Amino acid sequence: MPDSLEPRAVAPLLRGRFGRPYLFRPTCRSTQELLRGAGLPEGAVAAADHQTAGRGREGRAWHDVAGRSLLLSVLLRPPTGSPPLPQLSLVAAIAVADAVAGAIEGLATAGETAKRRLETAVKWPNDVLVAGKKAAGILLEATSDEVVCGIGVNVNQTPSELPQETRAAPTSLRAATGRTHLRAALLADLLARLEDRYETWLREGLAPLLPALERQDALRGRRLRAGDVYGTGAGIAPDGRLLVRTPSGQVAAVESGEVTLEP
């Protein structure tokens, strides 16, 4: 089966309202730009095989090898009075982590043994790790009335095709499992999980998602640095902030920023 993200491959797999409409481009600058300010409804998705100006967090570039990864953006319109927007990073990260875990578990049910030691985890606030390496990243860009949620998942890159300059050691589903994965199936599953998590969050806030975050917290017990806070990851607060136990024994709550793991 060809590994295509064209509408005819994706549309039959969609389960909910996310992905409608579905805009696909073989090449574009950034899928973020296809959605921003276009007046599309919530749940609109843009996907591409290749981006010429893919964006990562903190002004970094997001590189891809054409046709090897999931490059998508989802348009969200959280109404006034929704829970705090920074929490959306975690909502999306859990959905992506679950979709990636589902793809890996799919191999196990097919009789594979590749699943061993391939735990997925969320590295606060919005990286998804497989076996400790970065497999996916999330970029949220918000204006007054919309949020464009960009998601990049390394799917079928070989180890030598993975970007070498990334701050975190990179991996792909293929590098981790030794098998290629159908991107359309992963995309449809990811959208269904994101829609479900997002709607739960709109109704009830972060509380129902905390157990999943707790289970998949890549930072708990790890020595880390977040901005000028140094210490050991101590979980995620009910409001989504990262808790860090500092050497003095106090627990600091970090609101935003990048986390670096200490060796």
Q: Helices (DSSP H) in the chain: which residue ranges?
A: 7-10, 31-35, 87-109, 173-177, 183-204, 210-215
User: Is residue 43 near ligand BTN by the rule CB under 6 A?
Assistant: no
Pick from 62, 57, 66: nearest CA to 4: 66
Contacts of range 207-214, beta carbons closer than 8 Å, 24 or more positions apart? 207/238, 209/90, 209/91, 209/94, 210/236, 210/238, 212/94, 212/98, 213/90, 213/94, 213/122
Select the residue interacting with ligand BTN from 139, 185, 190, 213 (CB under 6 A).
139
In sequence order, which residues have a C-beta less than 8 Å from that of residue 148 and are 6 or more positions away?
A: 32, 35, 36, 73, 74, 75, 76, 140, 141, 142
Q: Which is nearer to ligand BTN, 73 or 177 (CB)?
A: 73
Q: Which is nearer to ligand BTN, 77 or 167 (CB)?
A: 167
User: Is residue 233 near ligand BTN by the rule CB under 6 A?
Assistant: no
Measured distance CA(39)–CA(35) in Å, rounded: 8
User: Is residue 257 near ligand BTN by the rule CB under 6 A?
Assistant: no
Residues in 72-111 at the binding interface with ligand BTN, rule: CB under 6 A: 72-73
User: Is residue 150 near ligand BTN by the rule CB under 6 A?
Assistant: yes
State which H helix or E strand residue 129 sits in. Answer: strand 127-130
Select the residue interacting with ligand BTN from 25, 36, 50, 57 (CB under 6 A).
57
Select the residue interacting with ligand BTN from 43, 78, 83, 152 (CB under 6 A).
152
Select the residue interacting with ligand BTN from 14, 22, 23, 31 (CB under 6 A).
31
Q: Which is nearer to ligand BTN, 62 or 201 (CB)?
A: 62
Number of residues that bind ligand BTN (CB under 6 A): 20
User: Is residue 156 near ligand BTN by the rule CB under 6 A?
Assistant: no
Measured distance CA(189)–CA(135) in Å, rounded: 16
Q: Which is nearer to ligand BTN, 51 or 120 (CB)?
A: 51
Classify residue 258 by its DSSP letter.
-
Q: How far is the CB of 251 from ligand BTN (least distance, A)?
A: 26
Pick from 170, 171, 253, 260: nearest CA to 219: 260
The one segment of 51-59, 109-117, 188-196, 211-219 that binds ligand BTN by CB under 6 A: 51-59
Measured distance CA(118)–CA(54) in Å, rounded: 27
The number of residues in the chain equals 263
**How large is the C-alpha radius of gyration of the chain?**
18
User: Is residue 137 near ligand BTN by the rule CB under 6 A?
Assistant: yes
Q: Which is nearer to ligand BTN, 150 or 240 (CB)?
A: 150
User: Is residue 30 near ligand BTN by the rule CB under 6 A?
Assistant: yes
Provide the binding-site residues for ligand BTN, judged by CB under 6 A.
Answer: 30-32, 51, 54-57, 60, 62, 71-73, 127, 137-139, 150-152
